[in-house]
Amino acid sequence: MSSSIRLLILSDTHSKWPYTPANPAPKADVFIHCRDLTQAGGLASFKRTIADIKTIDAPLKLIIAGNHDLDLDEVWVRKNMED
């Protein structure tokens, strides 16, 4: 008996989502986004990217932030917050 796992892996989308309602992402068992969800961070960019990720038909979604996603690093935010 063999089984397969469908992986969908994206990397460095920089707020430019490759899928549309007319051209949706393929179904997957696991979705992995590696590095750089946004181009320069910011709440609005993250909200758009999360909305895009929610369109992926996969029960497991793993997100790995990149160097453009510093807003997600609590230590960096605390060090660099404006007073």
State how far Cα 80 lies from the chain centre: 23
Element (H, E) at 30: strand 30-34
CB 29 within 8 A of CB 19: no
Look at residue 1 and tell me if it is in a domain: no
> For position 48, which CATH number holds?
3.60.21.40
State how far Cα 9 lies from the chain centre: 10
Residue 80: partners with Cβ closer than 8 Å, 6 or more residues away: 70
Look at residue 2 and tell me if it is in a domain: no
**Count of structural domains, the chain:** 1
- β-strand partners of 31: 8, 61
Question: 31-40, pLDDT tens digit by residue?
Answer: 999 999 999 8
Question: 48-69, pLDDT tens digit by residue?
Answer: 999 999 999 999 999 999 888 8
CB 19 within 8 A of CB 42: no
Domain with 61, as residue range(s), is 7-80
Look at residue 43 and tell me if it is in a domain: yes
